[in-house]
Amino acid sequence: MRRKETVAMLLAGGQGSRLGVLTEKIAKPAVSFGGKYRMIDFSLSNCVNSGIDTVGVLIQYKPFILNKYLGTGSAWGLDEESGGVHILPPYATEKGGNWYQGTADAIYHNIDFIDGYDPEYVLILSGDHLYQMDYNLMLDYHKLMNAELTVAVKTVPMSEASRFGIMSTDEELRITRFTEKPKEPDSDLASMGIYIFTWKTLREALLRDHEQQDSEHDFGKNIIPTLLGQGRRLFAYVFNGYWKDVGTIPSYYATQMELLEENPAFRIFERRMRIFSNLNEHAPGYVGEGGSVKDSLCCNGCEVYGSVRHSVLSPGVYIGPNAVVEDSVLLPNSSVGEGAVVKRTILNEGAAIAALERVGSEDEICVVGTGSTMRVKE
């Protein structure tokens, strides 16, 4: 196998339990976002746009849609003869099998996979973050600083710092302290959960961590504090662009509403750092004689006979005659029947609102799945 300088490992096994109905059937990285994308598109596209062509995708929770969606990786240009996308589920050995116990444990179990490419560096990513980033710049920085671990960080308001993993650094941006969700934060540099490790350092750390009975085998809780304690060279890399870890229904909803602004902060529609996706096989959309679409994003495969305002319409969405859709996010293949009224609602994939039904209210966000409905206060 050809040697690779950098291998990316993409953590995509999480459930995202706080997204409720949306992750009933699929893992969080497979949740639809921004019309035609799924969350994993952003990290995968970043890899491609950064020239990283070898990506291990660690899966565990309800992986079917994710696996099908990833396919050979060709939708992202990742169908490489040497490298490409590798789906890495938990597996059995002669000693039995185990689920991935934590983020670090998931990488530990794939040491042989990484060794196969004999890389200099390993890039650890999450499959459910929304951002556009050139990992090459971070890698250059990692080399420049002669670092063993570089953690991408973002400045957050001090008032919110206690929600994040916070890095304290010296003037050189060398990390001096790392605290998960500190009660009294002494820095506003929050970890984005994006790490570049020198593989030799990470490999040793994973082997040691695996032997620790009391470890949760987690990067933030175990690996980073241990390396810090050993006096290793850990650096923070400050990222100034848009980045979001959408964890809850209100933030999932708000983030998509932001895409409808005139100049959205998350510039997913620019060609420069193009986001690729695997939802491209629909015919163009259609707006009917009595239909109206305003202040909205509309994908291919939509048929609109009713009136749509300030909403996101994913591929294959149907809006019946005289239906009204406002301030809503309609995921792929969902439908709104004739004369129905849908406001401040997220329709999950394939969900159908019957004719004349009324859904949604002013003070909460309604999430309608194929089987169940939930309401979330903002």
Partner 1 sequence: MMRTIGLVSTNYSVEGYEDLCQNRPVAAVPFGGRYRFMDFALSNLVNAGIRTVGVVTPYYYRSILDHMGAGKAWSLDKKSGGLFVLPGTIHGFRDENGRFLLNDLLRNRQYLERGEADYVLCTDCSFLYNADYRPLMERHEVSGADVTLLYKPLEAGEKHRGSYLRTDENGRVTAIGAGESGEKLFLNCLIINKSFLLRFLDNYRHMSHRDLVERLSAQLAEVDVRAVAFEGFVGYTDGIADYLAASRSLLRREVRQELFGGERQIYTRIHDEPPTAFSAAAVVKNSVISSGGHIGGCVEDSVLFRGVVIEEGAEVKNCILMEKTVIRSGAVLENVICDKQVSVSGGVVLRGTAEHPCLLRKEKVI
- The residue ranges that bind partner 1 (CB under 8 A) are 34-36, 74-75, 268-269, 274-277, 280-281, 283-289, 291-300, 303, 312-313
For residues 61 and 24, is the Cβ–Cβ distance under 8 A? no
- Return the number of the residue (47 or 194) whose C-beta is nearest partner 1: 47
Tell me the C-alpha distance between 127 and 351, whole Å: 24
For residues 300 and 283, is the Cβ–Cβ distance under 8 A? yes
Shortest distance, position 294 Cβ to partner 1, whole Å: 5
Shortest distance, position 335 Cβ to partner 1, whole Å: 14
- Return the number of the residue (48 or 234) whose C-beta is nearest partner 1: 48
Name, in order, each residue with C-beta under 8 angstroms of 112's C-beta and a sequence gap of 6 or more: none
Shortest distance, position 288 Cβ to partner 1, whole Å: 6
- Return the number of the residue (179 or 277) whose C-beta is nearest partner 1: 277
Shortest distance, position 130 Cβ to partner 1, whole Å: 14
Type of residue at 361: S
- Return the number of the residue (222 or 314) whose C-beta is nearest partner 1: 314
329-330 and 175-180 strand pairing: unpaired
- Return the number of the residue (173 or 293) whose C-beta is nearest partner 1: 293
- Return the number of the residue (133 or 308) whose C-beta is nearest partner 1: 308
Reading phi first (left if > 0) and then psi (alpha if -120 to 50, else beta), residue 198 is in beta
Structure-token pair, residue 345: 């609602």
Shortest distance, position 95 Cβ to partner 1, whole Å: 38
- CB burial of 180-198 (b: ≥16 within 10 Å; e: otherwise) equals eebeebebbbbbbbbbbbb
Reference 127, options 204, 67, 68, 39; nearest CA is: 39
Shortest distance, position 81 Cβ to partner 1, whole Å: 13
Tell me the C-alpha distance between 373 and 136, whole Å: 43
